[in-house]
Amino acid sequence: LAKTTQPISMDSYEGQEVNITCSHNNIATNDYITWYQQFPSQGPRFIIQGYKTKVTNEVASLFIPADRKSSTLSLPRVSLSDTAVYYCLVVGRGYNKLIFGAGTRLAVHP
Amino acid sequence: DTAVSQTPKYLVTQMGNDKSIKCEQNLGHDTMYWYKQDSKKFLKIMFSYNNKELIINETVPNRFSPKSPDKAHLNLHINSLELGDSAVYFCASSQGASVNQETQYFGPGTRLLVL
């Protein structure tokens, strides 16, 4: 199971771009990289998933370098409502030990 | 419409009791999961289940047992509750069973407190 490392917390201001990097040095060939967002008292919510290079959807972009040992979630022009915990998840086919980790607590300030 | 729902939202009980948490998904998904989120916010999978296979995280005590009456429901039964079982339990579902690629949809969580 690929262990992930993320910053514990980040601060930003409304309108700024936020980049959260996740390290996953022992990622395996079959592993995908998925990011989830969790608000207080709610379950995690899917944001974006990628395997390599760049993926973009209406919410975020995900940048994955060629060696796939890290990934960066990019949130454009954050708002106060983006204050949440963001989890980087790397999962392979043997998922019975799937652990999300502690995530990155993003605080967006006015 | 709630995609993944759980009941109850809060559960306070005494040590030694047996309790159940219910989960239902109306997404037509084939696979359902139970997770435990502890006080440090680590979210760990406990079980995954589809109509073909139950996969158990071997670290989960056998006091915990999933029960699935049909594809849309996966309930979690806990025997002889212990203080360390206090946590938030999340149910989730996904379309298929290839979890490395699947998007999981989570319920709102059940906050269990064992006294």
Q: Which residues of chain B have pLDDT under 70?
A: 1-2, 52, 98-100
User: Are A99 and B45 within 8 A, CB to CB?
Assistant: yes
pLDDT given at position B45: 87
Residues of chain B positioned with their CB less than 8 A from the CB of A92 = 100
Strand duo A70-75 + A61-64: pairing: antiparallel
Question: A86: which strand partners?
Answer: A37, A104
Strand duo A84-91 + A70-75: pairing: unpaired
Task: Give CA separation, B54 vs A67, B35, B65, in Å.
Answer: 34, 14, 11
Q: Residue A52, SS3?
A: coil
Which segments of chain B are extended strands (E)? 4-7, 10-13, 19-25, 31-37, 43-50, 54-56, 64-70, 73-78, 87-94, 105-106, 110-114
A89 within a domain of the structure (yes/no): yes
pLDDT given at position A103: 92
Q: What's the CATH code of the domain at A37?
A: 2.60.40.10
**Close Cβ partners of B40 (under 8 Å, ≥ 6 residues apart):** A102
Structural domain harbouring A36: 9-109
Which segments of chain A are extended strands (E)? 9-13, 18-23, 32-38, 45-50, 53-56, 61-64, 70-75, 84-91, 104-109
- In terms of pLDDT, which residue wins out, A92 or B30? B30
pLDDT given at position A39: 95
Q: What is the DSSP letter of B104?
A: P
pLDDT digits (tens, 9 = 90+) for A44-69: 999 999 999 999 999 999 999 999 99
Report the half-sphere exposure of B95 (CA within 13 A, side-chain side): 4
pLDDT given at position A93: 62
The total domain count for chain A is 1
pLDDT given at position A2: 58
User: Are A96 and B109 within 8 A, CB to CB?
Assistant: no
A1 within a domain of the structure (yes/no): no
Confidence check: pLDDT of A79 > 70: yes
B75 Cα to chain A: minimum distance (Å) = 17
pLDDT given at position B48: 87
pLDDT given at position A83: 97
Q: Count of CB contacts below 8 A, A vs B?
A: 66
Class of domain B4-114: mainly beta
A4 within a domain of the structure (yes/no): no
Confidence check: pLDDT of A1 > 60: no
pLDDT given at position B1: 59
pLDDT given at position B57: 78
**Close Cβ partners of A58 (under 8 Å, ≥ 6 residues apart):** none
